[in-house]
């Protein structure tokens, strides 16, 4: 085990926490578009509409936003600790994490539009968008584990 770097023996705990919050983050990114599909099915202004607005808000506040912050903080700690900045796999990983972060921003923005009664996308489009986190997660895992 390599205990070098400023994290020392805590490195494995930081790595474990990073993985845990990545799981929470990806789970939230899977859930939110699925919520949107169900939200689209209820009339604007109905009691069900209000319930979906609250569910989406809770998912954002309790899972998505805290998770993305912790994923970035812990991931950067690991990158600095391992001095991986010259590694091509890290650059590619950061690129895909930036794409996921942008997707997170879109998800949050779309939830706000739904809360205002705007429904710009079809349920089919939302189902397709729901594939983005899974594809990105698979690519990121391959980059980190295989380090091509």
Q: Which helix (DSSP H) or strand (DSSP E) does residue 15 occupy?
A: helix 11-40
Q: Which residue has the tokens 């699925």?
A: 34
**93: annotated binding-site residue?**
yes
**18: annotated binding-site residue?**
yes
DSSP string, 66-123: HHHHHHHHHHHHHHHHHT-TT-HHHHHHHHHHHHHHHHHHHHHHHHHHHHTT---S-H
Per the annotation, where are the binding residues for heme? 18, 93
Per the annotation, where are the binding residues? 18, 93
């Amino acid at each position: 085990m390599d205990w070098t770097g400023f994290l020392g023996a805590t490195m494995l705990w930081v790595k474990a926490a990073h993985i845990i919050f990545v799981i929470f983050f990806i789970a939230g990114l899977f859930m939110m578009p699925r919520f949107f599909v169900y939200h689209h099915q209820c009339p604007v202004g109905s009691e069900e509409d209000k319930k979906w607005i609250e569910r989406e808000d809770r998912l954002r506040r309790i899972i998505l936003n805290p998770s993305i912050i912790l994923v970035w903080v812990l991931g950067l700690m690991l990158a600095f600790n391992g001095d991986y900045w010259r590694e091509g796999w890290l650059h590619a990983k950061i690129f895909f994490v930036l794409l996921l972060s942008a997707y997170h921003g879109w998800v949050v923005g779309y939830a706000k539009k739904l809360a205002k009664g705007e429904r710009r996308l079809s349920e089919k489009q939302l189902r397709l968008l729901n594939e983005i986190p899974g594809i990105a997660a698979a690519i990121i895992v391959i980059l980190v584990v295989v380090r091509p």
